[in-house]
């Protein structure tokens, strides 16, 4: 079933350029978009000056934890990429990778970041969850992963974010973020625009 879904979605992308082109561009640039999202959240100093920083720090912590666990799982499962397991059966729209397919690193990182943000800021979190979902689906369409790879990555990333939020580590991350936000605000106060 995993293979059939992947093959059907990949062949749909092959036959629909107007769909495939923007999706491939998004999948290729997704790492930069998520880094940009986390940076913007950290740099925001709005009504609740700590909220963005807390979301950004939690996102980075969740991403790091999820990817570390993902590497252990990937080594244990050692599932080959679909284009290696089925040579010539897929059209690959992204660069080849020889690391294991399960779980998807992209889905793991994206959902770790998105869920961590959602747990601290619903509005930004919903946007991040949409971005993560499109990325996860996109990794299937472009031929890089099986559906179960991205589902496992999404589950792993979400679990890491929940773990860091609802264990004693959560308040520690928030205190770190608050200190970083205080430093950020001190820098903002020194900027020439703040003094005019």
Closest CA to 143 of 88, 78, 91, 102: 91
Closest CA to 5 of 140, 105, 139: 140
Counting the structural domains of the chain, the total is 1
Asked whether 57 and 176 are in contact (CB, 8 A), the reply is yes
Spatial distance between the Cα atoms of 131 and 127, rounded to a whole number of angstroms: 6
What CATH number does residue 81 fall under? 1.20.144
> Residue 18 sits in which domain range?
2-195
pTM listed for this prediction: 0.91
pLDDT in tens, the chain (196 residues): 888 888 888 888 878 888 888 999 999 999 999 999 999 999 886 667 788 999 999 999 999 999 999 999 999 999 999 988 888 888 888 888 889 999 999 999 999 999 999 999 899 999 999 999 999 999 998 988 999 999 999 999 999 999 999 999 999 999 999 999 988 888 878 877 655 4
């Amino acid at each position: 079933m995993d293979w059939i879904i992947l093959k059907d979605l990949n062949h749909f992308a092959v036959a629909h350029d107007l769909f495939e082109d923007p999706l491939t561009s998004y999948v290729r640039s997704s790492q930069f978009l998520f880094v940009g999202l986390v940076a913007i959240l950290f740099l925001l100093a709005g009504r609740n000056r700590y909220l963005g920083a807390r979301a950004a720090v939690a996102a980075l912590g969740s991403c790091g934890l999820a990817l570390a666990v993902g590497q252990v799982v990937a080594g244990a499962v050692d599932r080959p990429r679909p284009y290696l397991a089925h040579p010539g059966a897929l059209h690959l729209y992204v660069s080849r990778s020889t690391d294991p397919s399960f779980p998807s690193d992209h889905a793991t990182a994206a959902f770790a970041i998105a869920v961590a943000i959602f747990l601290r800021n619903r509005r930004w979190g919903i946007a991040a969850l949409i971005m993560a979902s499109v990325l996860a689906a996109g990794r299937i369409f472009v031929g890089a992963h099986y559906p179960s790879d991205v589902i496992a990555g999404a589950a792993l990333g979400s679990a890491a974010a929940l773990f860091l939020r609802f264990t004693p580590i959560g308040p520690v991350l928030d205190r770190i973020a608050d200190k970083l936000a205080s430093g950020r605000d001190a820098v903002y106060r020194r900027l020439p625009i703040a003094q005019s």
